[in-house]
Structure 1
């Protein structure tokens, strides 16, 4: 899969021809390996397109811009990627995936998966919602919204909300507040919360109104939400463990710190 820009399309054509010439079987219906060409947004799109095959498929990313968190190869490393795929024996690196279950007051349920995060917001006014962690009433939140992220998503929207950066092998969820309202009347914790794998987070809106649920790069709108539950899915996303796999901490450094003169 490639994003729709000339550079990514050129890399797609180059890679397609190189894989075909190397004797690989190329199929978009039942792939063993999904190659994403573009940026992290393109990898998210690939994840959602093939999330029904997470048990059997592995992903690898080729970045055509700056180094991304989900990419191990740059656009000028196509030959290197093909050679590494020739040596592939099925090794994988697995990261947790978020599962979201949204229930409406009429009983309807909708289930989603997220690689980075899911965010709940009220469309018209300040959102008021009870926050439950493992069936314990944690707080009554007032503010713009709440975001629940995976460890891999901790460097995305969660970080901009002041959340912690978690290594993607840590099986935990992170709950972050979006512009919480705190004064002498209304109080929230005011910081992100890291929740272990066994615990479930539930957000229960207090008003019958329209709410948005953003799941990675997709947004859905619902009326009269009863509750939204978040927990780690039993299935993980698997990446090809190539010799070019970049250290997570190298990615964090390159993205947010860079080279510092000492």
Structure 2
């Protein structure tokens, strides 16, 4: 962990797990870490609760690229962002003392809505119809009008997000060492008027994706940012690019992204 010693714990208040979390904090203090109550003072942010809690911690702390994030799951199920288990503190201590941890770097996408509202996503951006009716999106790659989509929605995933919603849409699982975004369709309608590629496609880190929502009466899509829904309505223009930001997480050396994919899906 080097000189990083200010540690902030992000977790949902749950009386059933409070004792385990307090025990983890006590262990961290014994190992020379200082527990802070303001996340802005921290250079290590520990998210307890699984992948959802990890995504929330990253979002609430502002997608900081000047600190380390540590994912700690409180369940036995597999997790793609969490390398440690709340009930296995011995493994954490051993990893710290034996240099059994390393840093994993995850790319982030930037999302601009109508040219003025700006968000980051670590997992995915999803644009979905809010009513039982398809909607139309003109899809641009850089300045090229690539296709006109009609269907239930579009998902733009980071490499780590490629294992989530994207994968359920038959998208590819992408190595997080590749800085890129993957675009997948949700129930596209293909006919003589509307024609799409019909498969997921991947854009490199210098590309810009623009989604222009055609105003045809279905003008209020649901915008999902990782595991949060956005309340902004009547959005017309969505621009997505790789942000250049990198989220650094602590991982066990023998637990790569592909180890996790294998364990989760195979």
Q: Give TM-score, length-normalised by structure 1.
A: 0.88
For each residue in 1:232-252, what CA deviation from the matched residue of structure 2 results, as whole angstroms up to 9, or x when unmatched? 112110012544x51111111
- Say if 1:115 and 1:150, in contact at 8 Å, map to a contact too: yes
Q: In structure 2, which of residues 7, 22, 26 is the aligned counterpart of residue 13 of structure 1? A: 22
For each residue in 1:6-42, what CA deviation from the matched residue of structure 2 results, as whole angstroms up to 9, or x when unmatched? 5543331210111123331111421111111111001
Structural mapping, 1:117-156, within 5 Å = 117-124=124-131, 125-156=133-164
Q: Match for residue 45 of structure 2? A: 34
Structural mapping, 1:81-230, within 5 Å = 81-85=92-96, 92-103=103-114, 109-124=116-131, 125-207=133-215, 209-230=219-240
For each residue in 1:115-142, what CA deviation from the matched residue of structure 2 results, as whole angstroms up to 9, or x when unmatched? 1001112323311010001221110000
Whether 1:70 aligns to 2:81 is yes
CA spacing shift, 1:86–1:8, aligned 2, 3 Å: farther
Alpha-carbon distance, 1:221 to partner: 3.2
Please list every run of at least 4 consecutive aligned residues from structure 1 whose deviation after the TM superposition is greater than 6 angstroms: 87-90
Alignment RMSD (CA, Å): 2.1
Alpha-carbon distance, 1:113 to partner: 0.6
- Say if 2:21 and 2:86, in contact at 8 Å, map to a contact too: no
For each residue in 1:95-131, what CA deviation from the matched residue of structure 2 results, as whole angstroms up to 9, or x when unmatched? 101110001xxxx611111110011123233110100
Unmatched segments (≥5 aa) in structure 1 = 258-262
- Say if 1:36 and 1:46, in contact at 8 Å, map to a contact too: yes
Unmatched segments (≥5 aa) in structure 2 = 1-9
Q: Give TM-score, length-normalised by structure 2.
A: 0.87
- Say if 2:95 and 2:101, in contact at 8 Å, map to a contact too: no
Alpha-carbon distance, 1:48 to partner: 0.6
- Say if 2:47 and 2:54, in contact at 8 Å, map to a contact too: yes
Number of equivalent positions:
251
- Say if 1:7 and 1:64, in contact at 8 Å, map to a contact too: no
* Partners of 1:90 and 1:76 in 2: CA distance: 18
Moved more, 155-164 or 175-184: 175-184
CA spacing shift, 1:183–1:8, aligned 2, 3 Å: farther
For each residue in 1:29-83, what CA deviation from the matched residue of structure 2 results, as whole angstroms up to 9, or x when unmatched? 211111111110010011111125x121111111122120011112332133134
Alpha-carbon distance, 1:194 to partner: 0.6
